[in-house]
Structure 1
């Protein structure tokens, strides 16, 4: 299909029709994704040597493609198989008959899969490692989007001279080969990729050559369960991919912090959580509407998700027997609060609910909070409750501090804080309030945990009352509450 196609209008060159220019070092699939995301309508004519292909996009949907006698999906895949060339967008006067019915996500993924099958393990994205500075954190980025790989690489290397991106891969099979070749200190891993997806890749990494893995994805309702599964398979942490509608410098700083903490993980200490199969109903717990007399706050960070899952299964009913409740704080994006509560209910039969409004702290309940969403404990007519803090009130300081300070004021010696692997405590203002009010701070045993560095700071500050093996945590909490109530 050439320029004489009747579907293409011959707009005079003097008519204002936007900008003309050149985009360098960008892939065709990224351009198509941008057009589809913006719900554009256009014809993209692509030239490769003496070959010409056309792709029609109408209201953000790919409806037709033609190339060298082929039409429909096969023509689309052939065009996207060209790794270099030129393109121009042409105004569409009328839409052609639809020959493509798959959505653009599927089409782009399938095109990438075919390219990878034709030329697996290409080193085009690999970065030479001969002169790598061994004092720097060596990162391998795995993502099927060339644009996202470059964005992440730029954010990591420009924000810290202590990080070096030693390689990039577009699918799991490439990643496994590069891990063998480059031995990175840390891998950022996309969830959905052609050839080999994130789940299979993570399993291969943990079996063949374990190293810290941070999952990168755009969080959504459909992805939450997959993220929890990744964390239970050995991924150290999860972080959202950077987005254009948020402050890029803030995102960059958060990504850097998570990468640096995750890199300290000793993945050899990872253990798949052994959660007993729950019987029908709630796992031994008997939640009531009665106000709790004691409270346990369980804080988890990078590397601590499997520990938290295993602990809560037995801790919630144990605390309920002593007229207590539990608050579980997880280091996940705010969108995951509701999904995590449902996951706890389904996976552990734990009576969990997200703290999205002022809620009474009741016996036998597990209230789910997120690190980045500050919570506060208040008392009304002797009934303790927990709820989110207004954005204006939460400005400044570490989010966990307000929760611990207000919980200490309410429960005093009947408050227990359990810190699991990777649990961040900021400047420890909240922990000091717990300590001074007579509450207890219990650490899971650092020597057997994946991420011990944040817990080291608590011990150095003299704020830890006990350091306990994971199997003894429930008993330690229970025995302490018995003496305080």
Structure 2
């Protein structure tokens, strides 16, 4: 079997050595080169044509963000960012995901993490996932710019009986969510929940970025909120999100499901059990099968179900698993997901009025 060829780019000699040693422990991975900065990283990427690149952000000569931009224009390659847990680090990481990085790894203790070995299994798993990813020769995704009114919070909406839209995503999700949320119409009569696989410390920044480009108010869920039309709540990183009776949001530290927290299935199954209203579900790009069980349960209760088409997925795992349940009504490319959601909401509203 052909090994996954990896290029490690980091300005710290210690980190280059540690990451290389950790990856080399896996028989399926071969570290074919290392680089000290973004300029050297680009040169070695051109020469070595690796399957995956691990990329630090802060480096001399050329930083990781600049290298990523140039790489995605010249030679699209799956990139795994190394991120710090700071607020600034989260912002830069999310920018890199928008620019085309597949995923990121959080350094346990700063730019030079002496305890990087603690996350060795995570690094290996994410490198293997990145090797399967589809990356496109684009810098920033083409998307509609939301025209957001300063008074959007008081736009007349349907009220408590507005359908609930739930969007779940994993690898490639932040970029996909940005495309979908910026494309939804401002007058859509819906409440929204967003579940993105992401560790603690990153979802607040993601919510703020989505909020700036969406006609909906986007907030990181804190727990005890009540679903409301015109507002999208993003599941908090590192915690499961459930919907209890009365449309109340609850955060829990229950064990990970499918190896992740928040898990899409946890949210969807709680909705199937506790939410009496109409539901639209969209499963976007992501590794694994999270969301499939929830799609099956909600479809049985009349939900309008959507999955992203393989042609636009970074990783066609979660959508494939949902489709394989036989409970997905629409399969559409990413640029048509917002339209499919809108049509689903209108169809459910029409059926409610007819009833």
| Residue pairs, 1:43-442, within 5 angstroms | 135-158=2-25, 160-243=26-109, 251-268=119-136, 272-276=141-145, 278-281=147-150, 286=155, 290-291=159-160, 293-315=162-184, 317-319=186-188, 321=189, 324-348=190-214, 350-370=216-236, 372-379=238-245, 383-389=246-252, 391=253, 394-398=254-258, 399-411=263-275, 414-422=278-286, 424-426=288-290, 428-442=292-306
Consecutive unaligned residues of structure 2, counting only runs of 5 or more, are: none
| Distance in 2 of aligned mates of 1:189 and 1:343 | 22
Residues 305, 329 of structure 2: 8 Å contact kept:
yes
DSSP-derived class of the 1:353 partner: strand
Number of matched pairs: 341
Shift of 1:138: 0.9
Distance 1:289 1:371, change over 3 A: farther
Residues 316, 326 of structure 1: 8 Å contact kept:
no
DSSP-derived class of the 2:30 partner: strand
Q: Deviations over 1:384-434 (max 9, x none)?
A: 111201x2xx12533332211011223367122211122643384333322
| Distance in 2 of aligned mates of 1:310 and 1:194 | 32
| Distance in 2 of aligned mates of 1:193 and 1:264 | 27
| Distance in 2 of aligned mates of 1:145 and 1:247 | 13
Shift of 1:476: 1.9
TM-score, normalization: structure 1?
A: 0.64
Q: What's the RMSD between the two structures over aligned residues? A: 2.8
| Distance in 2 of aligned mates of 1:136 and 1:437 | 45
Q: Which has the larger radius of gyration?
A: 1
Distance 1:285 1:331, change over 3 A: farther
* Worse-matched range after superposition: 469-478 or 223-232: 469-478
| Residue pairs, 1:2-13, within 5 angstroms | none
| Distance in 2 of aligned mates of 1:238 and 1:396 | 19
DSSP-derived class of the 2:257 partner: coil
TM-score, normalization: structure 2?
A: 0.86
* Worse-matched range after superposition: 306-315 or 265-274: 265-274
Residues 342, 352 of structure 1: 8 Å contact kept:
yes
Distance 1:427 1:299, change over 3 A: closer
Q: Deviations over 1:160-187 (max 9, x none)?
A: 3211111111100111111111110011
Shift of 1:226: 1.7
Shift of 1:196: 0.3
Residues 316, 325 of structure 1: 8 Å contact kept:
no
| Distance in 2 of aligned mates of 1:222 and 1:344 | 17
| Distance in 2 of aligned mates of 1:252 and 1:310 | 32
Q: Deviations over 1:272-315 (max 9, x none)?
A: 14231534426698387954542111112222322211211233
* Worse-matched range after superposition: 423-432 or 458-467: 423-432
Shift of 1:155: 2.6
* Higher relative contact order structure (alpha carbons within 8 Å, sequence separation ≥ 6): 2
Residues 311, 333 of structure 2: 8 Å contact kept:
no
- Structure 2 partner of 1:14: none
